[in-house]
Structure 1
Amino acid sequence: MKRAMLILSAMAVLALGQPVLAIPSLQTFIPSATWDAGTQTWVTNAGTFELWVIAANTDAKPIFDLTLVGALDQNQAPVASALSIDGADIDAFTYGTPPSWGDNAGDYPPHGIYPTNYFELSVAALVDDAPETVHNMQPGEYDDTAPGKIFKFEITTTYDWLHFDSYGFLREQDGLFKFSPNSHDAEKRTPPPPSVPEPGTMLLFGSALALVGVVRKFQK
């Protein structure tokens, strides 16, 4: 009996020592992007790219009303035909914080983005199947896997800055629905052009160069 207890204790210790693999219920990801660890965001500067919404554990915990959100810079007004998804122009924007309806209206964490002009695109009313093995796309966490589903979109945009989030709703054991935003988001950023000195600065710089030339001439 004592030996059996020791074996069970050893097994428990080994089990506790095993890493617990976790993967977010929702991730927004750009395959060609780089990871910005400071903002937990996948970033690209391309005008055309593929965007993924990754849903995990959907066989055990279905996601309801899965939605993609795109947000403009707070100083950017919507521009007609500046964004298309799978070939369809996205011109209808709402100012504020998503979601734009229901008891959870405006519940999305601001995270330096909202309130601003944003659009919502319905991805799926219900995701309750898991035909794929999905990964935690955060660097260093890729070995964390779960059954799930990936939704892919072709994005074409002329906006310099465009932020993507996703959200859905999970049904809790008490039957109530819990608002569930994504853990990792994605963004299109165009690097700012090199700064050009103001004309006055250029004039002063030119005068300084001329003065240096005169001094060198008299030093010879």
Structure 2
Amino acid sequence: MALYMIGDVQGCDEPLGRLLDTIGFSPSRDTLFFLGDLVNRGPASLAVLERLMALGSSAQALLGNHDLHLLAVAQGVKRPHRNDTVDGILSSPRREALLDWIRQRPMALRAGGWLMVHAGVLPAWDVAQTLGLAGEVERALRGEHWQVFLQHLYGNRPDRWDDDLQGFDRLRVIVNALTRLRFCNADGVMEFDTKDSAAAAPPGFMPWFEVPGRRTAGTPVAFG
């Protein structure tokens, strides 16, 4: 049995199919872990979701910011971006089943000794806390009032973790860390303006995985 971790597919179903052929993936033997951003940008977001859903338990998928964006657009919470490529999902006869499948996906996973997230983990969080906080967001997305949660999801504040955070502020920080985090400072203050690579950290900030003393340092972390 092999465990494969795959980063942002973003609607690129044909390249994904070629990758699975190259690695000789067998759904009866192997498990795929997709690290979020399943949809958008590429030309075949609908086909990606249909492929993953058909694979059942042999394909485990995390939520990324583009997947949450799809849910928000579908509910009228966000306007579509000019470059969005999710119309095939939104116009599909299976639209509701597809969206329901997405919102049932986890925000973080641990398997094979790895912690898996889409973007990052704040330095103050250990593995158990990361999974527990991810679970809070998962319950909000799967709950009766998930559309209300989406209405309060977006924004850059608060920009740091505090154990005393409550309500939507608490959930927003968790989502931003797990799906958007690239850079933070030594105190865990997140920076969201810079979209460049790890080498382009703005002054006073660093890639989250380089923060001294981060509490997940003893665990390998896979992220997209």
Give the TM-score taking structure 2 as reference length. Answer: 0.21
Higher strand content, 1 or 2: 1
Higher relative contact order (CA 8 A, sep 6+): 1
Larger CA Rg, structure 1 vs 2? 1
